[in-house]
Structure 1
Amino acid sequence: MACYNRRDKTVACLEHLAIAAGRSGVDYRLFLFDDGSTDGTAEAVQKMEPDAVIMRGDGSYFWNRSMNEAFGAAMQEGFPAYLWLNDDTMLRPEAFDLLLQAARDSAAPREVIVVGAISDPEGGHTTYGGWRYVEPRFRPFLTRLMDPTDQPQEVDVMNGNVVMIPDGVARKLGNLDPVFEHGMGDTDYSKRARKLGIPVLLTAGYVGACSRNPLQGTHRDKALPLLQRVRQIFSRKGLPWRSWLTMCWRHGGVLWPVHFLWGYAKVILGRA
């Protein structure tokens, strides 16, 4: 788990986690990377979870590199399974039931990744979870968000809000790649899993709630002047070039240079 200056949300997230784990009889230990919070988040978490392993950054790690540190520390200690959890995602009481059931229903429960379907806390529509390719041969980065059904379903790409990874899978895939600064690490992880024949399953039902991140102020905000949007796309929360280059080279096929350039060109052309 990663956090940065969202003490109230982080505390609420952990309260929901404790309820869900208690209902399903799941024992857990928290590994948290606090990337330089100044609002007392780490102290509040330590009070709630005395056995938690809390690591601290300087504000430069952002989501993926923070998760890399936390996941790496947990893997070093060793557990039967690992749960990625975003601190702005509030688990439902039945969350672990759904995650574990999806794994049990698969042909090889210890060889699958399970991603939790997430809904909007107010509207109830799907906000995060699993995605499927639309045109995998020619547009490998074009995906559509899947709504959960009454059965677990296989997906191609996942968001990292709620993800359960068995230890055997974690050993095969390793950690999140720190080349990705903020985003894209969860996408890369699921794509690497699929290439190794490891299924990624979406839960049969919502495991938690989280609002979509707003587009305002990002490179997708068409109300911003073009120069500001260009600056945003090269920022760590946009498409930083090293991260995007790695993503395209690793998963874009023979047309990866086209996908790399198009990621920036569509902002200039107003298509993002």
Structure 2
Amino acid sequence: MKYIAILLTVFNRKKETLSCLANLYKQILPDKTCIKIYLTDDGCTDGTPEAIHKIYPDVHIIKGDGTLYWNRGMYKAWETASKERQYDYYIWLNDDTFTYPEMISTLLSASQKKEDKAIIVGPTTDAQHIQPTYGGRLNNGKIPIPNGILTSVTHFNGNIVLIPQSVYKVLGNLDYYFTHSKGDFDYGLRAKQQGINIFQAEKYLGECELHPTLDKWCNPSISFAKRWNMLHRPNGMPPKETFHFEYRHYGLATAIFHFTTIHLRCLFPNIWIKYKK
């Protein structure tokens, strides 16, 4: 029997979360495969955990207080799962990602081709199937278009990711230092540093719409006071976390350069937009 822990963290997206879970329960699983879902409720106030408990009572819900955000919420879910049993695989999943029925079987097949020693990333597309939205990332930051074969990547978004037990034994959990959005990139880059390969699956495994490309912290239509506040929020571009991430992976010079430029983008967004054009 193969045991898989599926990890999520959620906050006030009841409709999306319930749809995500419904798709999970429609998965076409290989024989002798068992899944258990661990979900961090990061202080939901919209009835999400109550609805989950009523419809899917076997989901293990971990309580948060609204300060965990994605990375620390996933950390808590993973920590809980790993203490309960030694799972063969862990799957990260975003609650706004709507998976196809063959998602798990495709991830498992890909992992087994790599002797369960690599991270496997599931790419997603938009609802119109026009472009990739999240998945593995190449050195240039782009998501490779799935082409029927496993594609080597350097890091990844955390929307659909399979981590075998052998990788978990080397890398452990996500880094709790990060609050929200840098934990997935950090995990992939740490894997590469340890000689662990990362592959993107050969086809799309779900749908997830792109988030707005112009963040509020550098949007010139928003007042400076609000931009400054959004810059320092966990789901903005928190300067200390950004510096820590870039110093770890790209060195001191790059960390200092981007620490400076993100403040300039917040202070003078119009000038920055014109410069980029």
TM-score (normalised: structure 1)? 0.89
Summarize the alignment of residues 7-18 of structure 1 with structure 2, pairs less than 5 Å apart.
7-18=14-25
Aligned residues: 261
Offset at residue 218 of structure 1 (A): 1.8
Aligned residue for 2:25, secondary structure, equals helix
Q: 2:102 aligns with which of 88, 94, 98?
A: 94
Partner of residue 4, structure 2: none
Q: 2:251 aligns with which of 253, 259, 265?
A: 253
* In 1, Cα distance between equivalents of 2:215 and 2:163: 33
Q: 2:70 aligns with which of 31, 41, 63?
A: 63
Aligned residue for 1:232, secondary structure, equals helix
Offset at residue 186 of structure 1 (A): 0.4
Summarize the alignment of residues 20-169 of structure 1 with structure 2, pairs less than 5 Å apart.
20=27, 22-25=28-31, 26-77=33-84, 78-106=86-114, 109-134=115-140, 143-169=141-167
* In 1, Cα distance between equivalents of 2:213 and 2:222: 11
> Amino acid of the residue matched to residue 167 of structure 1?
Q
Offset at residue 228 of structure 1 (A): 3.1
- Structure 1, unmatched stretches of 5+, are 135-142
Aligned residue for 2:162, secondary structure, equals strand
Q: Structure 1 runs of 4+ off > 4 angstroms?
A: none
> Amino acid of the residue matched to residue 212 of structure 1?
L
TM-score (normalised: structure 2)? 0.88
Percentage identity across aligned positions? 33
Matched-pair contact (CA < 8 Å) for 1:219–1:229: yes
Partner of residue 210, structure 1: 208
Offset at residue 262 of structure 1 (A): 2.5
Partner of residue 5, structure 2: none
* In 2, Cα distance between equivalents of 1:263 and 1:209: 30
Q: Deviations over 1:110-129 (max 9, x none)?
A: 21111110101134311000
Partner of residue 140, structure 1: none
Matched-pair contact (CA < 8 Å) for 1:110–1:168: yes
Q: Deviations over 1:117-162 (max 9, x none)?
A: 010113431100011112xxxxxxxx22222111011111100011
Q: Deviations over 1:232-269 (max 9, x none)?
A: 22221111123112101211224232233233334434
> Amino acid of the residue matched to residue 229 of structure 2?
R
- Structure 2, unmatched stretches of 5+, are 1-7
Aligned residue for 2:57, secondary structure, equals coil
Partner of residue 180, structure 1: 178
Offset at residue 66 of structure 1 (A): 0.6
Gap change, CA 1:223 and 1:146, over 3 Å in 2: farther
Gap change, CA 1:231 and 1:100, over 3 Å in 2: same
* In 1, Cα distance between equivalents of 2:111 and 2:76: 26
> Amino acid of the residue matched to residue 122 of structure 2?
G
Gap change, CA 1:34 and 1:199, over 3 Å in 2: same
Offset at residue 47 of structure 1 (A): 2.6
Gap change, CA 1:220 and 1:153, over 3 Å in 2: farther
* In 2, Cα distance between equivalents of 1:55 and 1:230: 32
Moved more, 178-187 or 251-260: 251-260
